[in-house]
Chains A and B, each alone.
Chain A
Amino acid sequence: MRIVLRLVRKEVLLLLRDWHALLLLFLMPAAFILIMSLALQNQFSAAGGAKLSYALVGGTAPALQKLDGFRQVDGSATESELRTRLRAGKLQFLVIVPADYATSLARGKPQPVKLIAAPDVPAAAYKLFESGARAALMKSWLRQRLHARGIPVAALDDGSAQHLLAAAEPTPGAPTAEAMPSSVQQNVPAWLLFAMFFIAIPLSTTWLAERDQGTYLRLRSMGLTPPLLMAGKVIPYIGLNLLQVVLMLLVGVFVVPQLGGDALTLGHAPLALALVAAAASFAAVAYALLVANLVSTSEQATIFTGVANLLMAALGGIMVPRFVMPQALQAISHYSPMAWGLDGFLDVLLRDGGIGMIAAPALKLCGFGCACLAVAGLFMVWRRGR
């Protein structure tokens, strides 16, 4: 045990003096989390159908003053100014109400309202807004018609029609796998996982240096067994991974909101969160040991890790969220270890799941880690023979 502690201490000392590795492992994910969380905030909101903005211009249409899920912006601007803002992406919808809309409605023949959407508005969001606006206008017209015929219209406003659609809010007891993450919920675990798997570069570099410079030989001649030497590597790097998890979650909770983004909420299952982090870390370190035993030089390790990690990230929904991928690509993405890690984190952070919910992705990560260790062991035996 004392020797393992010595090995761990040595590894920590070497890591603390490797500024390139520290920047790669801590600064890179923090920067990605901040940039991507803020940059994609509106995109994620749009995909969720919330907080898209619209403006009314022209005549008066009280029915459109408040549309659920959409935010009305200052309507004092001119139509020309609003059209400019629409083109610039600062406004998603512009509703042009005819000047005589109110009087035409009172006559029972309302003039048509014109809807213009920004070019980058997703089709689903457009449909949502259009339906909302159409329903509001229909309700307004219906009220006017009923009122004109002396029929009470209170039922339109007292909520008695709510029972026609039974809608339930997601609850911890009934999580919905289809729930879509906010920008910070997606980007914190995504870029955290991306950085965790980049641990393969510093680990394989020190591993190769020990192997090539005779240090491994010297330690072996001192009676240290390969499992002991492997433990001396795995333990500090798993610790480093977990430190990445803690720091990046803190960035999501405290730093992102300081810069104008949403704050990350950590769910209600800290044990499940810890288990997902541990499983992802085990997978990342085992993968790093495999890379270290597959390659012959640190240059090869850097290139291999870079390419393999980018592929895993692209497929695993790190760079592009999986819910916007086509079905075929989503099916392929299930084979990326980063996707399993992301699923596990989102189960806790987004779907408020517990241990039962993260069991499947955690087991997949552990299985991947065991497979990596087995292949790394085979390569180690093969290299020793050479």
Chain B
Amino acid sequence: MPLGRCFSRRSWYIAWRQIGGDTRGVIHVEGVSFSYPGASGAAIRELSLDIERGSLFGLLGPNGSGKTTLISLITGLLRPDAGAIRIEGASPRRLALVPQDYAFYARMSVAENLDFFAGVCGLAGERRRERIAAVAAVAGLDAFMRTRAARLSGGLKRRLNLAIGLLNEPELLILDEPTVGIDPQSRHFILESIRRLNAAGTTVIYTSHYMEEVQSLCDVIGILDQGRLLACGRLERLLAGTGGTSLALGLAEPLDAAASASLENAYGLERAGSELRASQLGSGALVPLLASIERSGGRVARLRYGHADLEDLFLHLTGRELRD
């Protein structure tokens, strides 16, 4: 059954609530719709969603799917045309948005930026100094406090962007693509920081186009397209819902035609470029398949077996057509 039909908006909403156990939701989005003035269609359409306290929620969607609009609605920057959003337990002062852009002042130093935003958050005196020192340590910025933000590397700018978001010790942290355009070391540092914050109890909403990153970081995923929530739930359940297990293997050298045809017939394999793939292969057939390849003189260079990954699921739900 195609996922698009199987995971209707309402059924996935219910499924997640069941999987989630208790209803400790921190954010309740209830039937929210929103249209920009003069726009031909709605940016968000009757969207309902609960995000649990303490979860690390991955919000995915193609460009123009409504992610930023949904974030703006949650943070109160926009007001829904219909429906309601409730944030339970978290004070508005303890909500932080880390935008995708470098949302700080390039002509000010790291310390000046942190000091300014701490003051705007209402922090004063000793408390302000403590929080600045704490977020600088979390983001690894201690050695760059007197450096003008404009002169920081891309990775350090991302870390400063994150550090500012942590000044008010947020209970709810919304991160909009916080790892765009940085090297693997900085990305690893930021992801680890987010994991630690989440482990310490901060609820995190994380948007990114890096599927692998989201898959390794988030425990709950919501996939949005054209203003609708196509799927939402715990990651493993979403991936399991894609159907059976799949196989993709690459050979060091191609087999001869006869051996290749024999294997394709016996195990239901299909050629896809340099790979052989099977969409419904039981785990019991895996060892005999590898033995057959070896007997035919072939050598396996790489192999992937299991449920579809998040990217497969994402493309399956949102389609492969290019977006704006």
Q: Would A17 and B119 count as touching, CB distance under 8 A? A: no
Do the beta carbons of B108 and A214 come within 8 Å of each other?
no
User: Chain B's nearest CB lies how many Å from the CB of A227?
Assistant: 15
Consensus secondary structure, chain B interface: loop
* Interface residues on chain A, size class: 20 to 34
Does chain A have a CB within 8 A of B144? no
Expressed in whole angstroms, the minimum distance between the Cβ of B71 and any Cβ of chain A is: 9
Q: How far is the CA of A312 from the CA of B161 in the complex (A)?
A: 42
Residue of B nearest to A212 (CB): B101
A220-B77, A223-B92 given as contacts; is B97 within 8 A of A10 (CB)? no
The smallest beta-carbon distance between A215 and chain B, in angstroms, is 5
Q: Is B99 interfacial (CB-CB < 8 Å)?
A: yes
Q: Which residue of A lies closest to B72 (CB)?
A: A217
Instruction: Decide: B107 and A217 in contact? CB cutoff 8 A.
Output: no
In the bound complex, what is the Cα–Cα distance between A386 and B38 (angstroms)?
8
Closest-CB distance, B90 to chain A (whole angstroms): 13
Check: B95 CB closer than 8 A to any chain A CB: yes
* Interface 1/0 per residue, A209-231 and B, CB below 8 Å: 00011110111111110000000
* Inter-subunit contact A214/B102 (CB<8 Å): yes
**Cβ contacts under 8 Å, A382 to chain B:** 37
Tell me the minimal C-beta distance from B231 to chain A in angstroms. 27
> Closest CB-CB distance, B126 to chain A, in whole Å?
16
Contacts A6-B116, A221-B77, A385-B36; A13 near B99 (Cβ below 8 A): no
Contact pick for A218, options B92, B93, B99, CB 8 Å: B99
Within 72-105 of B, Cβ neighbours of A (below 8 Å) are at: 72, 75-77, 92-93, 95-105
Contact of A2 with B105 in the complex, beta carbons under 8 Å: no
Min Cβ gap B151→A in Å is: 13
B37, B75, B92, B104: the one contacting A215 at CB < 8 Å is B104
- Assess the A215–B103 pair: CB atoms within 8 A: yes
Is A218's CB under 8 angstroms from B97's CB?
yes
**In the complex, are the beta carbons of B77 and A3 less than 8 A apart?**
no
Contact between A217 and B99, CB atoms less than 8 A apart? yes
A213 to chain B, nearest CB (A): 5
A18 and B36 contact, CB distance less than 8 A? no
Give Cα distance in the complex from A118 to B107, angstroms: 56
In the A-B complex, the 3 residue pairs with the closest CB atoms: A214-B99, A214-B103, A214-B101
What are 12 A-B residue pairs whose CB atoms fall within 8 Å in the complex? A2-B124, A9-B116, A10-B108, A14-B107, A17-B108, A213-B101, A217-B72, A218-B117, A218-B164, A221-B95, A222-B168, A382-B37
Contacts from A to B (Cβ < 8 Å): 2-3, 6-7, 9-10, 13-14, 17-18, 212-215, 217-224, 382, 385-386
Q: Apart from A220-B75, A222-B117, A222-B120, what are 8 other A-B pairs with CB-CB below 8 Å?
A: A2-B119, A17-B108, A214-B99, A217-B97, A218-B97, A218-B98, A221-B95, A222-B168
